[in-house]
Amino acid sequence: MLSKIAVAGSIPPSIPVEASILNRVLEVLERVECLPADAVGALRFGSDGLVLVESRAVCWAAAPGMRPRLTQLLRHEHAPPLSKDQLREVYRQCKDDQIPLADALLAVGNLSPSALRTALFRHTAEAIAHLASNGTHFGGFVAQPSYRARFPFSTAEILAYLGARCDTVLAAAAAAELEVSLVPETSGWAFLRDAGMGAPVVVAARGGPPLPGAEMVEISLWVANLFDVTGVFDAGVHLASASFRGLRYVVAWRSAGTYFAAVCANRAGAARLVAGLEQKFRNAERVGVSV
């Protein structure tokens, strides 16, 4: 499997790109998703690994050996890049004044909220990948007071970020397609059928409410099987809309070799999504573009 490194200007990840770790990442994320909806606390892994969770969202994660990583990410995101001394001063202020790191960093000046979110998210996602890769022993859940995290992250976006490592260019294009296609109250994602993992690899996720990772993978399997079967009688099938008992509505499509799936809140939402996608496919056919 070939991996495609992110475009120039970004710092490389601290984790391997292989899709093989994604199975174990799913296991780690499942521990988050299986917590009670109102649970707040830390999932502990070994002696130094932890994933802070609130309401099934990940607030922070750390793994052994990652101590310098946040500094590296923050310095990269800051404009101009922060010096190590400046960052050390920020940490000291946090500790002395007992203020959240996020607030202190934003107060420094040239770090936008989106840049801070990016740095914290990358650290969190990479830490989860490290924990999964190392196979660190799960040490249980410790309840704690609310973190009131400024930037909680869904397990879906963490899974997609790590899956996107298989092909960052394709993942970016898929994310853009989801941004313009999805309708309100719809959770959608893009996946590769097999990036060397023997199972679908989620590479982009948008909308909400986000689904658990294992559900996204299972629905992706169903979508992949469906397009295989329809190929028997009509190889051109590119869009499908299904309703299931229990008021579940799934729309699936494929475009430029990428597969997409979306779970809609109701039949009307599914119909709107299909209408929008149908228009896109018709426009592409009209100008002779293969989708």
Partner 1 sequence: MLVEIDSGRVLGPLPAPAGALPVSEVVSAVPEIFGAQALLKHRLLGEMAVLSELLDLVLISPTRVHVLQRVPAEPARALVSVAGRENSVGWVVSEARSRLERT
Residues at the contact surface with partner 1, assessed by CB under 8 A: 214-215, 218-219, 221-222, 225-226, 229-230, 232-246, 248, 250, 271, 274-275, 278, 281, 285
Residue 79 or residue 229: which is nearer to partner 1 going by CB? 229
CB 210 to partner 1: min, Å:
14
CB 219 to partner 1: min, Å:
6
Residue 146 or residue 279: which is nearer to partner 1 going by CB? 279
| 118 close to 23: Cβ distance less than 8 angstroms | no
CB 217 to partner 1: min, Å:
9
CB 269 to partner 1: min, Å:
15
CB 253 to partner 1: min, Å:
9
- Euclidean distance between CA atoms 52 and 49, whole angstroms: 10
Residue 172 or residue 221: which is nearer to partner 1 going by CB? 221
Residue 148 or residue 248: which is nearer to partner 1 going by CB? 248
Residue 112 or residue 244: which is nearer to partner 1 going by CB? 244
- Euclidean distance between CA atoms 122 and 223, whole angstroms: 29
CB 258 to partner 1: min, Å:
17
Residue 131 or residue 261: which is nearer to partner 1 going by CB? 261
Residue 143 or residue 247: which is nearer to partner 1 going by CB? 247
289 phi and psi angles, rounded to 5 deg: -90, 135
Residue 190 or residue 251: which is nearer to partner 1 going by CB? 251
181 phi and psi angles, rounded to 5 deg: -95, -40
118 phi and psi angles, rounded to 5 deg: -60, -45
CB 156 to partner 1: min, Å:
14
| 51 close to 149: Cβ distance less than 8 angstroms | no
| Antiparallel, parallel or unpaired: β 57-62 and 49-54 | antiparallel
The length of the chain is: 291
CB 238 to partner 1: min, Å:
6
